[in-house]
């Protein structure tokens, strides 16, 4: 009997379901990672974003890094436009906010529109939501009968774009969803951060610590940026792949004005570049200690 045809793997999806993890080549460098935070309450200042710093922390612990972050409103058209651009990339994207079932939660609907697929109740999500309702009923809160209007409304939180997979929620069982390398989770940090960690460790473990990368910096006093800039440009020409950075501080917190100079990239090359940069700073009249 001839074997069944296997669809081609989607080149934009590093975790394509049609690619055997043992057979597919692992890229030398991990894909770009981005964050999309959704919610009017963040843009208005009613709530402070807590996802940006936490995702950086989770990524760094796994040898990964954040490449970009975007904050957008709850407007469905805005979310659709953002996600259409995002789905067109091979990036690994974490989307936080707007997956509930109230009128201001439009992320599920926007994701379906951006992909051109219908929404459908995910059977595993329905089961988990049912279990959550039963647990709450056992505590005297609500009903375990999933036909009640309240529980029918709760089931809307399991209506995802067709083809999505669930992301488990260890806090209250109400899952997020994953589709096309985009992980959608609630805006609540107590839920989202555990879901981020699960996604990184379950879906993207193959890219942990694939890159050897370090970042070194030191403080320089008595040296203007204009004088050190040519040296930074020369450094990047001499050590390909090493990035130099300069972060000036005007002393607005009561300290002395200074520059934080540094390098980032391959450990061995970065160490060489850092030593060279220190020498250049001293030769240009900079000091490594604040004035007395």
- Per residue in 35-65, pLDDT tens? 999 999 999 999 999 999 999 999 999 999 9
Q: Where are the beta strands (DSSP E) in the chain?
A: 33-38, 68-72, 92-96, 119-121, 159-161, 165-167, 176-179, 182-185, 214-220, 243-249, 258-265
Task: Count the domains in the chain.
Answer: 2
Nearest to 123 by CA among 165, 168, 186, 171: 165
Residue 62 is assigned to a structural domain of this protein = yes
- 128 and 260, same domain (yes or no): no
Phi, psi of 28 (to 5 degrees): -65, -35
Lowest mean pLDDT: which of 2-6, 179-183, 195-199? 2-6
- 50 and 149, same domain (yes or no): yes
pLDDT (average), residues 146-175: 96
Please report the sign of the dihedral spanned by the C-alpha atoms of residue 180, residue 182, residue 185, residue 187: negative
- 231 and 174, same domain (yes or no): no
- 194 and 235, same domain (yes or no): no
Nearest to 13 by CA among 28, 31, 25, 40: 31
Residue 6 is assigned to a structural domain of this protein = no
Predicted pLDDT at 210: 87
Residue at a domain's end among 165, 192, 207:
207
Residue 10 is assigned to a structural domain of this protein = no
Residue 276 is assigned to a structural domain of this protein = yes
**β-strand partners of 159:** 121
Contact 55, 34 (CB under 8 A): no
- 119 and 254, same domain (yes or no): no
Residue 190, Cβ neighbours under 10 Å: how many? 12
Residue 193 is assigned to a structural domain of this protein = yes
23 compared with 164, residue with greater pLDDT: 164
Nearest to 235 by CA among 260, 193, 271, 259: 271
Instruction: For residue range 223-274, list pLDDT tens digits in order.
Output: 999 999 999 999 999 999 999 999 999 887 778 999 999 999 999 999 999 9
| In the predicted structure, residue 30 carries a pLDDT above the cut 60 | yes
- 184 and 224, same domain (yes or no): no
- 223 and 202, same domain (yes or no): no
Predicted pLDDT at 128: 97
Residue 156 is assigned to a structural domain of this protein = yes
Nearest to 96 by CA among 27, 197, 192, 6: 192
Residue at a domain's end among 146, 180, 207:
207
pTM comes to: 0.81
Contact 245, 261 (CB under 8 A): yes
Residue 168 is assigned to a structural domain of this protein = yes
- 121 and 196, same domain (yes or no): yes
Contact 108, 175 (CB under 8 A): no
- 252 and 185, same domain (yes or no): no
- 224 and 170, same domain (yes or no): no
Give the neighbor-by-neighbor strand order of the sheet with 214-220.
214-220, 258-265, 243-249
Domain range for 162 is 33-207
CATH of the domain at 113: 3.40.980.10
Residue at a domain's end among 181, 207, 233:
207
CATH of the domain at 234: 3.30.70.1130
- 198 and 224, same domain (yes or no): no
Contact 243, 236 (CB under 8 A): yes
Spatial distance between the Cα atoms of 255 and 225, rounded to a whole number of angstroms:
18
Q: Print burial letters for 269-283: b (CB count within 10 Å at least 16), e (below 16).
A: bbebbbebbeebbee
Residue 290 is assigned to a structural domain of this protein = no
What are the C-alpha distances in Å from 177 to residues 152, 161, 267? 19, 9, 37
- 117 and 237, same domain (yes or no): no
Predicted pLDDT at 29: 76
Contact 102, 144 (CB under 8 A): no
Cβ partners under 8 Å of residue 21, min gap 6: 206
């Amino acid at each position: 009997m001839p074997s069944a045809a296997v669809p081609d793997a989607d080149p934009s999806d590093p975790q394509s379901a049609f690619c055997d993890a043992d057979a597919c080549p692992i890229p030398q460098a991990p894909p770009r990672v981005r964050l999309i935070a959704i919610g009017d309450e963040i843009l208005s200042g009613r709530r402070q974003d807590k996802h940006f710093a936490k995702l950086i922390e989770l990524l760094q612990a796994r040898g990964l890094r954040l490449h970009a972050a975007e904050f957008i409103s709850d407007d469905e058209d805005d979310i659709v436009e953002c996600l259409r651009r995002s789905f067109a990339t091979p990036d690994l994207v974490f989307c936080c906010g707007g997956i509930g079932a109230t009128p201001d939660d439009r992320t599920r609907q926007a994701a379906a529109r951006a992909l051109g697929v219908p929404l459908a109740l995910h059977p595993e999500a329905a089961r988990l939501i049912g279990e959550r309702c039963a647990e709450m009923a056992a505590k005297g809160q609500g009903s375990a009968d999933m036909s009640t209007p309240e529980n029918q409304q709760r089931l809307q939180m399991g209506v995802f774009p067709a083809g999505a997979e669930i992301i488990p929620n260890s806090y209250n069982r109400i899952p997020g969803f994953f589709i096309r390398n985009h992980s959608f989770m609630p805006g609540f940090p107590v839920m989202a951060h555990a879901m981020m960690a699960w996604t990184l460790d379950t879906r993207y473990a193959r890219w942990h610590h694939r890159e050897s990368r370090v970042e070194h910096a030191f403080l320089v006093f008595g040296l203007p940026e204009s004088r050190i800039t040519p040296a930074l440009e020369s450094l990047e020409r001499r050590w390909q792949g090493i990035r130099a950075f300069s972060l000036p501080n005007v002393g607005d917190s009561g300290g002395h004005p200074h520059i934080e100079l540094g390098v980032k990239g391959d450990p061995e090359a970065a160490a060489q570049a850092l030593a060279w940069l220190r020498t250049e700073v001293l030769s240009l009249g900079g000091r490594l200690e604040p004035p007395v």
